[in-house]
Structure 1
Amino acid sequence: MVRDLPRDERPREKLIAYGADALSNAELLAVLLHTGTREQSVLHLAESVLGKFKERGIASIVHTSVADLAGIHGIGPSKAASILAAVELGRRLAKKAAEKVQIVHGPEDAAHYVMPHLRYEQKEHFAVLLLNTKNHILGLRDVSIGSLSASVVHPREVFAMAIRYAAASMILVHNHPSGDPNPSREDLAITDRLVKAGRILDIPVLDHIILGDNRFLSLKEKGMIS
């Protein structure tokens, strides 16, 4: 049990002494859960919870319900609510931090801004990051939501969004729920089509950012946009 551990190895005491970043995922979760059960310590209970998301990755907790978590032995509605509240707080803090990016100087800025919005989505979202003449961000707007493997995107929907917000240029953005940001043939075909449409409408497509699991790929950087 946790009480049998040396004091400086107990999750709560360790956090107080060394800071939250010194704790493992299981230890952080143990602090949230507070207590275990008669059969297992709070650390073992935390590991059981994390084990449920081992294949899909810890980020998939974002899409879990109270009922799903409460179905784990030792996790009732109260503990489940605490976990989901902490996860949602983390998401909101990440989005708030991303909002500090006001000007896009390159792919990293664009990816940093959009990552908290699209990273955890289980379906493929296609969006546009709209910019003014000085590359200030006007907003991020969803264009379509597809299946787990593809989005259907039409130029008129993309550029109607740009015209509506008086954007001078745009960056295309979409996520790959698989976590792999490498482009498919469809991604390249859609990009080429929209780049050509942007030239006609004088609303240039500067880049296409594909998001994976905490990583991204810029088609511009890879030389896939001419």
Structure 2
Amino acid sequence: MLFEIPQERPRERMMLFGREQLADVELLALILGGGHAVNRALALMQDAGGLLGLDRANPQQLCRTSGVGLAGATAICAALELGRRVAQLQVPYARCIEGPDDVAAFLRASIGAASQETFLVLGLDVRQRLQMVRTIAVGSLCSVQVHPREVFRPLVQAGMHAVILVHNHPSGEAEPSDADVMLTHRMAEVGRLLGILVLDHLVVTRESTVSMVELGILESPLG
């Protein structure tokens, strides 16, 4: 290479190489701006515990890092929220859902980073096209209580043919718990009685999506 722009000049690096080539710390430095932005961004990343920590932090928490004032803290929170909203626009409305990958990005953006367990239903028509997304319940850090009555009521009212159950794990551990497994089997049985197929139950975190059908916990009603 004939020349190299120093790492402490992320603005020039973005203009020359594109945003994809910048490290996380460099992107954060661009949001902070000002002198020694890379060093301040590195300190902030360390204090927050990485990108996931930043995503969960509020402006008051970010301001505790030396050199990060109100302007920088609020700018970071605003940028992260904008990114989340862009990802949420990827909801595949009226498209055929063939597997968890078709809705994974939308679900991770919607509830993957939530601090409380949240239970959603995705209603599908007879062609497995996504027709509705409903939040059924919001719980605590480690659990959410749902009843078949609340889960299936909006699906019955909307005339849905099938459903994908979804909830998040704020802990970041996507492995289904014993309670998750029991709930899944209960919902599948109620769905059979109502004539609404439970196609899958997805457990979502900020970085991953786990399918109970793919794990062999739930038998696909489609065979």
Check whether TM > 0.5. yes
Q: State, as a whole percentage, how many aligned pairs show the same letter.
A: 33
Residue 42 (structure 1) aligned with residue 41 (structure 2): no
Aligned to 1:70: 63
Alignment of 1:48-127 (within 5 A): 48-54=43-49, 57-99=50-92, 102-127=95-120
SS at match of 2:146: coil
Cα distance in 2 between the residues matched to 1:201 and 1:101: 23
CA shift at 1:70, angstroms?
2.2
Query: Which of 179, 189, 205 matches 1:186?
Result: 179
Report the alpha carbon displacement of residue 32 of structure 1 after superposing the two structures with TM.
Answer: 1.2
Match among 128, 133, 142 for residue 126 of structure 2: 133
Relative to structure 1, is the Cα distance of residues 70 and 146 closer, same or farther in structure 2, using a 3 angstrom cutoff? same
CA distance in 1, matches of 2:94, 2:103: 8
State the partner residue of 1:3. none
1:81 CA drift (Å): 1.9
Report deviation, 1:8.
4.9
8 Å Cα contact 1:60/1:120 also seen in 2: no
Contact kept in structure 1, 2:92 and 2:102, CA below 8 Å: no
Structure 2 unaligned regions, length at least 5: none
**Aligned Cα RMSD in Å?**
1.7
Provide the rounded CA distance (Å) in 2 between the counterparts of 1:181 and 1:199.
26
Per the TM alignment, residue 95 of structure 1 is displaced from its structure 2 partner at its CA by 1.1
Structure 1: which 5+ runs fail to align? Answer: 1-5
Q: Which amino acid aligns with 1:13?
A: E
Equivalent in the alignment of 1:29:
28
Q: Cα deviations across residues 71-93 of structure 1 (Å, max 9, x unaligned)?
A: 32211111112211211111111
Letter in 2 for 1:32: I
Corresponding residue SS for 1:148: coil
* 3-state SS of 1:92 partner: helix
Q: Match of 2:103, SS?
A: helix
Q: Distance in 2 between matches of 1:178 and 1:121?
A: 10
Corresponding residue of 2:201: 208
The match for 2:157 is 164
> In 2, Cα distance between the equivalents of 1:66 and 1:52?
13
- Matched with 2:169 is 176
Mapped to 2, the partners of 1:141 and 1:100 lie a distance apart of: 13
Query: How many Å separate the matches in 1 of 2:114 and 2:39?
Result: 29
Q: Report the TM-score, using the length of structure 1 for normalisation.
A: 0.89
Please point out which of 126, 148, 151 is paired with 2:141.
Answer: 148
The CA deviation string for residues 143-187 of structure 1, in whole angstroms up to 9 with x for no partner, is 111111111111101011211222111000011111111111100
* Structure 1 Cα separation of the partners of residues 27 and 93 of structure 2: 27
